[in-house]
Amino acid sequence: MSTLQINTVYTGDSCELMKNIKPESLSLSFWSPPYFLGKDYEKDASYESWQSLLKTVISLHYNVLKPGGFLVINIADILSFQDENMPRIMGLNPSNRKCAVTKEMILKVKEEHPEFNRRQIATVLKCSEQTIDRRLNGNNIRGGRYATGTHVKLVGGNLEQYAYEAGLFLYDKRIWKKDPAWANSKWTTNTLKAVSETEDLYIFWKPGEYLVNRDRLSSTEWKEWGHRQIWEIPSVRANNIHPAMFPIELARRVIRLFTDEGDTVLDPFLGSGTTAIAAIETKRNFIGIEMMKKYAELAIANIEKAKVIYQNNR
């Protein structure tokens, strides 16, 4: 395949297509990968396949970033996935019990009617056979303490290692303070864990000179977010067109902080096209890669609309 062109969306796998980007042509790559949460584009992902995807894509960056260029990854700080090797722990939550039948009540019926089977005991106590089983054996066949354990894993260490192995160095980290992600929460009723309210921006640098251009932002912007670690930006509420869009303001800030007009920005997980739209708006070039045809088409449609709005304003 020939070299990827700027201001173009490509449909395909970044692990392959990134090999066709002109070497040392990018000032910035900004993206948010699959988070391994069971969205439609990651249905078949395992922790191992997720690791391999991130490792491959990060390693391909060394060749395509300019010396002094930046790779900025937006990702939640922890992953959670089922892991057979984890202890099978479940918090006890008595208030969550829908059926008032206790183990003592079952034992009493058994004492009075030793000949009763599980179904008959359930009939007397007006509950399900499953409840009888659960109370007697502590056996929750729908999950709970006998379900495979959940592995909660910090993400930053993996990214830092993959980047380091690729010749890129951790330069900075920002925190995006977003809305609470209830929908993504694997836990609410039976744990004491918090719902995720922040995501990280890991900033990696390819050794080389880079410009510290104070004119990229106004003095108010430098004070309000340029120098600040925590960026408070509302999440994208509507996810009816794509399930995991980041807000355009996040892309705008990263692009304006790390690049100048005319530079080229890559997003190898383009989704609905947010990074490309922010690039158009800020007079940068983009290259977008998206694996799923329906999202690549959506990105192209969104980009066309953005071109009409912003390029007419130039």
Joined together, the tokens standing for residue 206 give 């390819």
* Contact (Cβ atoms closer than 8 angstroms) between residue 259 and residue 22: no
- Candidates 81-89, 160-168, 213-221, 286-294; binding stretch for ligand SAM (CB under 6 A): 286-294
Q: Which is nearer to ligand SAM, 15 or 233 (CB)?
A: 15
Q: Which residue has the closest beta carbon to ligand SAM?
A: 271
Question: Shortest approach of ligand SAM to residue 314 CB, angstroms?
Answer: 24
C-alpha distances in Å from residue 91, one per residue of 186, 189, 193: 14, 9, 11
Is there binding between residue 249 and ligand SAM (CB under 6 A)? no
> Given candidates 271, 278, 279, 306, which one binds ligand SAM under the rule CB under 6 A?
271
DSSP state of 137: H
Q: Which of 4, 14, 21, 266 binds ligand SAM (CB under 6 A)?
A: 14
Q: How far is the CB of 125 from ligand SAM (least distance, A)?
A: 48
Among 41, 116, 187, 310, binds ligand SAM (CB under 6 A): 41
Q: Is 134 in the site for ligand SAM (CB under 6 A)?
A: no
CB neighbours of residue 218 within 10 Å? 10
> Which stretch of DSSP H or E encloses residue 263?
none
Of the candidates 46, 47, 60, 48, the one whose C-alpha atom is nearest the C-alpha of residue 13 is 60
CB 18 within 8 A of CB 60: yes
From 269, 278, 281, 306, residue interacting with ligand SAM (rule: CB under 6 A): 269
Query: How many binding residues for ligand SAM (CB under 6 A)?
Result: 21
Residue 250 lies near ligand SAM (rule: CB under 6 A): no
244 binding ligand SAM? (CB under 6 A): yes
Task: Give the residue, chosen from 29, 80, 196, 274, that forms a contact with ligand SAM under the rule CB under 6 A.
Answer: 274
27 binds ligand SAM (CB under 6 A): no
Residue 161 parent element (H or E): helix 156-166
**Near ligand SAM in 187-206, by CB under 6 A:** none
Per CB under 6 A, 291 contacts ligand SAM: yes
Residue reference for tokens 């977003």: 178
The Cα angle at residue 181 between residues 176 and 186, in degrees rounded to 5: 125
Compute the least distance from the CB of residue 46 to ligand SAM, in Å: 14
By the rule CB under 6 A, 34 interacts with ligand SAM: yes
Report how far apart, in Å, the C-alpha atoms of 56 and of each of 14, 49, 65, 95, 175 are: 9, 10, 15, 46, 25
**DSSP SS3 for 204:** strand
Instruction: Output b/e per residue, 91-129; b: 16+ Cβ within 10 A.
Output: eeeeeeeeeebeeebbeebeeeeeeeeeeebbeebebee
Q: Say how far apart CA 166 and CA 192 lie, in whole Å.
A: 38
Residue 302 sits in the site that holds ligand SAM (CB under 6 A): no
Q: Does 278 bind ligand SAM (CB under 6 A)?
A: no
| Residue 292 binding ligand SAM, by CB under 6 A | yes
Residue 154's Cβ-count burial label (10 Å; 0-12, 13-18, 19+) is exposed
The binder of ligand SAM chosen from 15, 78, 175, 233 (CB under 6 A): 15
C-beta of 64 vs 291, nearer to ligand SAM: 291
Interface with ligand SAM, residue 13, by CB under 6 A:
yes
Report the interface residues with ligand SAM, using CB under 6 A. Answer: 13-15, 32, 34, 41, 53, 242, 244-246, 268-269, 271-272, 274, 289-292, 295
